[in-house]
Amino acid sequence: MKPQMITLHINGRTHYVALNPNLTLLVALRDLGYTDVKCGCEKGDCGACAVFLNGVAVNSCLVLAWQADEAEILTAAGLGTSEHPHPLQTAFSDAGAIQCGYCTPGMIISAKALLDQKPHPTDAEIRDAISGNLCRCTGYAQIIQAVQSAAEKMDAGGEG
Amino acid sequence: MKYQVKPLPQVNLPELRTVGKPLRKVDAMGKAVGDTVYAGDYSMPRMLHGKVFRSKQSSARITRLDVSKARALPGVACVITGFDVPNARLVSDMPGQTGQKQRAGSDVPVLASEQVRFYGEPIALVAAETLEIADKALSLIEIDYEPLPGVYDPLEAMKPGAPVVTPPDNIVARWKIRKGSMESGFEQADLIVENTFRIPYQEHAYLEPEAGVAWIDERGAITIRVSTQVIEHFRTIARAVGVRQNKIHIQGTMVGGGFGGKEDITIEIYLALLAKHTARPVKMVYTREESFLAHAKRHPYVIKHRTGVKNNGQITASKIEMISDSGAYPYLSPYVLLYTTVMAPGPYRIDNVQVDAISVATNNPYTSAFRGFGGPQACFAYEQQMDDIARQLGLDPLDVRKVNYLRTGDCTATGQVIESATWLEETATRAMAALGEQTPDYGSVKIGQGFASYFQSYGRITWMHDTSQAWVGLELDGTVTIRAGVPDLGAGQANSLCQIAAEVLGVPLERVTIYTTDSALTPLSGTSTATRQLYMSGNATLMAATNVRNVLLNRASKHFEEEIEALDIADGKAFNKSDPSQTLDLVDLAKMCASEGMHLSNLALFKAPFTDPINPETGQGQVWPDFTFGSFAAEVAVDTETGEVTILKAAACHDIGRAINRAAAEGQIIGGGMQGLGYGLMENLIVKEGVIKTPSLSEYLIPTSMDYPNIQAIILESGTGLGPFGAKGIGEPALTPAAPAVASAIANALGVSIPEIPITPEKVLAALDLP
């Protein structure tokens, strides 16, 4: 098959791109410069490439780019900037939840997906929500703390 | 509570303003918002994509290698084989800046051309216009093998007549310790306890597979942006590529996890060769499977302990034999073996010690550095041995250890006097106390608690003559810049330096910016390995910042007309301590100094203790600058019907000397502990005839958020370390005691010990069948 033009709406920007049918959304996003979407395994084992696809958190390595035609995609970099970070980004930074940082963008996507549904999760619910995101550095404790702290802040500030 | 918590001696640490606080690390926000650009995120104009063609045999002669079809494929820029680069060998000594010692048998061909010695060994390199073309080119490379007999068990490889992987006899390294007398030691014993322990591979499984981009810059230097723990490899690469050392420029990126797996040269040598041969930028990124195949693993060991003890538990003699599997090439095996050898007797005072250690070449995946560097294997064996001694004597495990624990002023088995605090009972009792009351057994489920104590070095081997440099400067707006060649693996390597400089120069952490990890543009700080960066580069930064501070205080003393001792700097101001309302803003002070030609920056070099090598016949001598001490405790539930082990509670207590960033130190303790728990219970690299059968994260399982409970981190601060402000190191020590603690808890639950990790349900059930 030949490349086909598709439209991707990513972090509020629109891209018209010609892509081969076998390309994953992960590769498409990274080729377009969204390198905050990390590649750790390309088979859905690690969660480093998680993004929102029409509001649902997915591993972008398990989605073909063509399947995302016309979809709204949100990556961790689309949530906030260092000047105006999302409460999860602030909480991860402050709680010591970030070591090497390679799992962080995907982890933040999974955490946001949880808080979108459950603004006041238990620790067990947080563990469950991030169970598809491997972290080799932190041992998860400070990540769970960070999600709890972000939940409190978002509740108080009505943000998110 | 099982044990009374041992009180701590009085420690009076000076109050500090920035150091010790759990501040946001300087690298955190960039990672949270996706601004941090990792090695695989870079692209260059006109960039090619590189791939490695690897052996599909564990032991074979290459009878034919034909790359002509691959070379002819449109879009292929070059294909390089070992015949094209006959001098491309990695003959480095210990990675680092000293170049003092040649490594035993460390000669590794970059590309195999006549014989392959392990599955996955690199044979050819390809660079092409696209990744797809590069992959296609790999499939067009034709190769014929003549299989050779392979050897996959180090015990077999030691036998006469075994296939030779490393000439002449597969022995890669030997170390010995001889202290006191075995004869008299065993004569004094009331009981002799013997056990054999088996310890497996471990895979680093960092989330970021190896990656990098290389190009030739306008001055003709091969520039390599790569994820590495060691930018000083530019020297080895220069030799292998055949250029001068100042024509290799390594720009290290933020490392997406290292744990020792990015300590040896990984992808950068291929990038350098491809960039040189094509004169174009080349990018290479490993897939996960290739990462499994390409980098070293933690060494499997067989360790035998024969220990003589008195009825009160006092050890009279310790005879230890160990064999490690170095795989097909030595890499750091001789040094890993040295670590295991010297740590083999554990943190115990023993008058009569004999250790014999051998590292043996096989056709298995090669083994090298992994967090702990031989220490965790030693610890698993000596702590299971201590538990068995307690069991056989009918004593409590803590009581047996208390009789033997090292104390400050005692000697290690190699005769090194320990001058810092040795808080072993202090950490063991606190870790156990943190578990609280033991959960009662229920149904077929048996509950057990156990702990392990350890000692682990921080800093490199002292006969490597290790040094680190750091540059600190005050800018004219009162901000501080640090330049240091430190690779940041996420453990806070760079941030610690910032907190130290902020403390010394009296500015908030936000005013400090650090530039790191550039072999040409930042002063060389040495490797991010061996738990050495805080100790080494922390001290270098402390020295440089103190030198700048002294310039400032000198000028301020003229301004205030006060002695230097009467002045201090904090919150961006110099002030008179006896009258804090007399202040001078750092901005004004910096301008005064600058206009008078005073030096507002400093480059400092910190030297570790330099010693001679240990005696090769007796092992006697100093090996490291100092040690970290601590303990890990766990409570487990073991289902005696299914063999399943669940960790109910876990706690780790370490004397880290002084916390520079408390949250970061806790992160090391918890994260390292989790890697150790995975090592003890779950992580299972299956290797058959040299082939890794579990080369993915769905086959080689590492702990997820669902597997283990939070590890309670208990930080003690004796202030007796050799690092800045009395800090010790915690990066590697954090992992070391976790697996043996879990094994102890399982043995406590079952009444039988399992001398082999990972302790899978199969092994639990097999152990229960024993009489």
Of A45, A93, A138, the CB nearest to B24: A93
* CB proximity A103 to B under 8 Å: yes
CA distances from B426 to B402, B456, B632, B655 (A): 10, 16, 12, 9
**pLDDT, position A160:** 45
- 115-134 of A, contacting B, C-beta below 8 A: 126-128, 130-134
Tokens of A17: 């791109």
Q: How confident is the model at residue B2 (pLDDT cuts 50, 70, 90)?
A: confident
Is the pLDDT reported for residue B103 higher than 60? Answer: no
Kindly tell me the burial class for residue B146, based on how many C-beta atoms sit within 10 Å of its own C-beta (0-12, 13-18, 19 or more).
exposed
Q: Is the CB of residue B37 less than 8 Å away from at least one CB of chain A?
A: yes
Average the pLDDT over B415-438 and give the result.
98
CB contact under 8 A, A139 and B703: yes
- Computed over every residue of chain B, the mean pLDDT equals 96
- Kindly state the average pLDDT of the residues B587-601: 97
Q: Could you read off the pLDDT of A2-20 as tens digits, one per residue? A: 899 999 999 999 999 999 9
On average, the pLDDT of chain A sits at 96
Asked whether B406 and B349 are in contact (CB, 8 A), the reply is: yes
Nearest to A102 among B30, B33, B257 (CB): B257
Least CB–CB distance from A141: residue in B38, B698, B711: B711
Closest CA relative to residue B508, chosen from B572, B589, B601: B572
A41 → chain B, closest CA residue = B288
Could you tell me which residues come within 8 angstroms of residue B539 by beta carbon, excluding any fewer than 6 positions away?
Answer: B468, B606, B722, B723, B724
Put simply, whether B285 touches A (Cβ < 8 Å) is yes
Would you call B730 an interface residue with chain A, using a CB distance cutoff of 8 Å? no
B697 to chain A: closest CA residue: A45
Q: How many helices (H) and strands (E) does chain A have?
A: 5, 5
Lowest mean pLDDT across A59-68, B326-335, B546-555: B326-335
Contacts of B41 in chain A (CB under 8 A): 30, 35
Question: Cβ separation of B32 and A141 shorter than 8 Å?
Answer: no
Answer whether residue B276 shows pLDDT above 70.
yes
What pLDDT was estimated at residue B770?
Answer: 57
pLDDT at B95: 40
| Domain B1-36+415-460+625-771 shares a fold with domain B46-150+204-294 | no
Asked if B704's CB is within 8 angstroms of A102's CB, the reply is no
How far B667 CA lies from chain A's nearest CA (Å)? 6
**Residue B261 DSSP class:** T
Contact B463, B632 (CB under 8 A): no
3 state DSSP class of B116: strand
Of B32, B288, B674, the CB nearest to A40: B288
- Chain B residues with CB under 8 Å of A79 CB are 33
> Is beta strand B353-361 parallel, antiparallel or unpaired with respect to B315-327?
parallel
Distance from CA of B389 to the nearest CA of A (A): 32
- Domain assignments of chain B as residue spans, ordered by start: 1-36+415-460+625-771, 46-150+204-294, 467-607
Q: A56 and chain B: CB distance < 8 Å anywhere?
A: no
State whether residue A149 sits within 8 Å of chain B by CB: no
Nearest to B296 by CA among B228, B360, B359, B364: B364
Cα–Cα distance list, B620 to A157, B174, B341, B350, B413 (Å) = 63, 15, 12, 14, 8
Q: What percent of chain B has pLDDT over 90?
A: 95
What would the DSSP string read from start to end of B275-342? HHHHSS-EEEE--HHHHHHHS-BBPPEEEEEEEEE-TTS-EEEEEEEEEEEEETS-TTHHHHHHHHHH
Eight-class DSSP state of A97: -
Q: For residue B758, is the peptide bond before it cis, meaning its omega torsion is within 30 degrees of 0?
A: yes
Task: Report CB contact under 8 Å: A139, B489.
Answer: no
Range 708-727 of B in CB contact (< 8 A) with A: 708, 710-711
Q: Mind listing the pLDDT tens digit for each residue in B327-359? A: 999 899 999 999 999 999 999 999 999 999 999
Q: pLDDT tens for residues B464-504?
A: 899 999 999 999 999 999 999 999 999 999 999 999 999 99
Instruction: For B224-255, write each residue's pLDDT tens digit.
Output: 999 999 999 999 999 999 999 999 999 999 99
CA distances from B306 to B388, B605, B626, B767 (A): 11, 45, 27, 22
Exposed, middle or buried, B581 (CB in 10 Å: 0-12/13-18/19+)?
Answer: exposed
Contact B32 A108 (CB under 8 A): yes
Instruction: State the nearest Cα–Cα gap between A7 and chain B, in angstroms.
Output: 23
Give chain A positions within 8 Å (CB) of B708: 139
The contacts of residue B624 (CB under 8 Å, 6+ apart) are B416, B457, B458, B459, B460, B461, B462
Average pLDDT over residues B662-680: 98
**Which class for B22: exposed (0-12), middle (13-18), buried (19 or more C-beta within 10 A)?**
middle
Tokens 């074979």 sit at which residue? B60
CA distance B336 to B378: 11
- Look up residue B515 and give its two tokens: 């530039």
What are the structure tokens assigned to B74, written together?
């449109």
Average pLDDT rounded to a whole number, residues B145-157:
98
Instruction: Answer yes or no: is pLDDT of B590 > 90.
Output: yes
Give the residue from B705, B707, B708, B735 with the most A CB atoms within 10 Å of its CB, the best one to mutate.
B705
Q: List pLDDT tens digits, range B353-392.
A: 999 999 999 999 999 999 999 999 999 999 999 999 999 9
Top residue of B21, B29, B33, B43 to mutate, by most chain A CBs within 10 Å, is B33
Pick from B22, B28, B702: which is nearest to A134 by CB? B702
B30–A82 CB contact, under 8 Å: yes
Yes or no: say if B391 and B714 are a contact pair by the CB < 8 Å rule. no
A101 and B254 in contact by Cβ < 8 A? yes
Using CA of residue A109, residue A115, residue A117, residue A123, what is the dihedral sign? positive
B64-76 burial: b if 16+ Cβ within 10 Å, else e: ebebeebeebeeb
- What is the Cα B587 distance to its own chain's centre? 41
Mutate: best of B43, B207, B528, partner A, most A CBs <10 A = B207
- CB of A64 less than 8 A from some CB of B: no
- Residues forming beta bridges with residue B455, ordered by sequence position: B629
Q: How far is CA B269 from the centre of its chain?
A: 22
Residue B566, both tokens: 């009467």
* DSSP per-residue codes, B194-235: EEEEEE--B----SS--EEEEEE-TTS-EEEEE--S-GGGHH
Residue whose tokens read 């003559």: B465
Interface membership of A157 toward B (CB under 8 Å): no
| CATH, domain B46-150+204-294, list 2.60.40.1180, 3.40.50.150, 1.10.8.50, 3.90.1170.50 | 3.90.1170.50
Residues of chain B with C-beta less than 8 angstroms from the C-beta of A77: 33-35
Closest residue in B to A47 (Cα) is B207
pLDDT-based confidence at B98, cuts 50/70/90?
very low
Domains and CATH numbers, chain A: 4-77 (3.10.20.30), 87-157 (1.10.150.120)
Cβ–Cβ below 8 Å for B254 and A104: no
- Neighboring chain A residues of B663 at a CB cutoff of 8 Å: 95-96, 142
Is A143–B30 a contact, with Cβ atoms under 8 angstroms apart? no
Which residues in chain B touch residue A88, judged by CB atoms under 8 angstroms apart? 32
**What is the distance between the alpha carbons of residues A128 and B82, in angstroms, rounded to a whole number?**
49
Q: What is the pLDDT of residues B502-531, one digit of tens each?
A: 999 999 999 999 999 999 999 999 999 999
**Inter-chain touch B704–A81, beta carbons under 8 Å:** no
Looking at chain B from residue 346 to 365, which residues have their Cβ under 8 Å from any Cβ of chain A? none
| Residue range A79-131, pLDDT digits in tens | 999 999 999 999 999 999 999 999 999 999 999 999 999 999 999 999 999 99
Interchain contact B20–A (C-beta under 8 A): no
Across the range A53-81, mean pLDDT stands at 98
Q: Is the bond preceding residue B376 a cis peptide, omega within 30 degrees?
A: no
Share of chain B above pLDDT 70, in %: 98
- Cα torsion through B434, B439, B444, B446, rounded to 10: 40
Q: What is the CATH number of domain B467-607?
A: 3.30.365.10
Cβ-based contacts of B675 with chain A (< 8 Å): 136, 139
CATH number attached to the domain at B1-36+415-460+625-771: 3.30.365.10
The pLDDT of B30-58, averaged and rounded, is 98
- CA quadruple B286, A73, A132, A44: dihedral sign: negative
How many other C-beta atoms lie within 10 A of the C-beta of residue B472?
A: 31
